Amino acid sequence: MNNNDLQPREHRVYPSLALNIIERQEHSVSRQMISENALKVLYRLHGAGFEAYLVGGGVRDLLLGGTPKDFDIATNATPEQIRQLFRNCRLIGRRFRLAHIMFGRDIVEVATFRGHHQEQNAQVSVQSEQGMLLRDNVYGTKDEDAERRDFTINAMYYNIADYSIHDYAGGVEDLEDRLVRLIGDPETRYREDPVRMLRAIRFAVKLDFDIEEDTAEPIERLAPLLGEIPSARLYEESLKMLQSGHGLETYHLMREYNLFQQLFPVIADHFTADYSSQTEHMLDLALDSTDLRVEENKRINPAFMFAAILWYPMVAQAQRLTEELGIQYYDAVMEASNQILDRVVKRIAIPRRHTATIREIWQLQLRMPRRNGKRAIRLMELNKFRAGFDFLQMRGDVEGGETKELAQWWDTFQSAGRNMRQAMVNDLHQASPSKSKGKPRRNVRKKKSKTES
């Protein structure tokens, strides 16, 4: 890749968009489809004399006949004015100042219309040399806000005043054509916020849309810009990409556009042309399993997913340490775990509580082959045993052989009764030859002398 590809380009003016107002009788969105709490916020803002619109993905999903996960609102009220209207409001964010209206666990997010930032004020708008927005609290009109939005299908506004939809960028048409299309010049928009490349992939997979040709063209070339994004933000984006129910398909599309490689370079080192490595096999298994759990409304733990997809890179590093330093394999695994996780956390800020769980799952892989005596029962009592066993089963599917036999042994052992468990442990003892093939070791006890008695 030429370094000039990542050099800053001249900042351009935002595109002028043509507003298309779709009257209530011409669209399918009904107030009955909007959450009660979102309606409360919309009506209170409108009643106080402010403009109030349901925006973005909420309008998009309603027009597609789905149920939005969130109902976000845009208004011309400033964050401080919003806080005066709602006692259950808190203001958050530095890069983007937002108001969260709290209804128990339900949160309605309210954003003030954003304006343009050609004339920068360091207090409200900061842009890097590469064109990336670092801070952006420039307020404006609804027209300017629409021009600032990323994708056409997210630039539609449901007006609570008359229940019409304001479509600024042909979003309704792109919904019908099933296209993800950026507003404005794609390369400039990606430079402003490289995470938009990830969002393009996520929307395409989630909605089963195609990425419009001009929108797709710069992604592979500009993918390294993700290295400038704060690691905490990339962690949150990685969960959205891989743990929202479409992780497997998202991973494959990310990889096609060189995006997965930017988030997980330690994994990308193990990629092959024919997807044949153990790392790639494990990625498919782990992400498919996560998608299935999401579909079945089961709890998912990011730590398990990260433990699975980082396992073989860690093992490879442990093997290198064993050969280079001549240390025991267990010690090599402990050191390799630290090295791999340190590298990953610098790019994606996995929280410490999750890295601790990842280490526990990995350590269990070393302990589960040791089942003699009471060790098997004690292992089953550990808090992370189930996660360790589930991962062992995945390893068995990847590796086969002894690992698969070990996983099958533990599967049987867990459901066996007391007597059968003891028999299984005894069989292990009989199957493993004694370390001392000569005379049996005598239990020598020192006799007390008469003078000691």
In DSSP notation, 147-169 reads HH-SBGGG-EEEETTT--EEESS
Among 215, 124, 160, smallest CA distance to 45 is for 160
pLDDT band at 353 (very low <50, low <70, confident <90, very high): very high
Work out the average pLDDT over 166-170. 94
User: What does pTM read for this prediction?
Assistant: 0.84
Work out the average pLDDT over 33-55. 96
pLDDT for 2 equals 45
Q: Which residues are catalytic?
A: 70, 72, 150
Query: Residue 71's beta-bridge partner residues?
Result: none
Burial zone of 324 (CB within 10 Å; 0-12 exposed, 13-18 middle, 19+ buried): exposed
Among 99, 81, 79, 77, smallest CA distance to 90 is for 99
Among 198, 214, 203, smallest CA distance to 155 is for 203
Work out the average pLDDT over 276-305. 96
Q: Which two tokens stand for residue 184?
A: 């404005």
Polymer length in residues for the chain: 453
Q: Which two tokens stand for residue 322?
A: 């064993």
Among 176, 215, 165, smallest CA distance to 25 is for 165
Q: Which two tokens stand for residue 26?
A: 């011409």
Q: CB of 106 within 8 A of CB of 131?
A: no
Q: Cα–Cα distance between 181 and 154 in angstroms, integer?
A: 10
Q: CB of 91 within 8 A of CB of 128?
A: no
Among 168, 198, 199, smallest CA distance to 184 is for 168
- H/E stretch holding 75 reads strand 72-75
Q: Cα–Cα distance between 447 and 445 in angstroms, integer?
A: 6
pLDDT for 15 equals 64
- H/E stretch holding 44 reads helix 36-47
Q: Which two tokens stand for residue 425?
A: 């442990």
Among 349, 351, 278, 290, smallest CA distance to 316 is for 278
pLDDT band at 432 (very low <50, low <70, confident <90, very high): low
DSSP 158: E
Count of beta carbons in the 10 Å neighbourhood of residue 440: 7
pLDDT for 119 equals 47
Burial zone of 415 (CB within 10 Å; 0-12 exposed, 13-18 middle, 19+ buried): exposed
Among 310, 305, 281, smallest CA distance to 291 is for 305
Q: Which two tokens stand for residue 42?
A: 């919309």
pLDDT digits (tens, 9 = 90+) for 190-202: 999 999 999 999 9
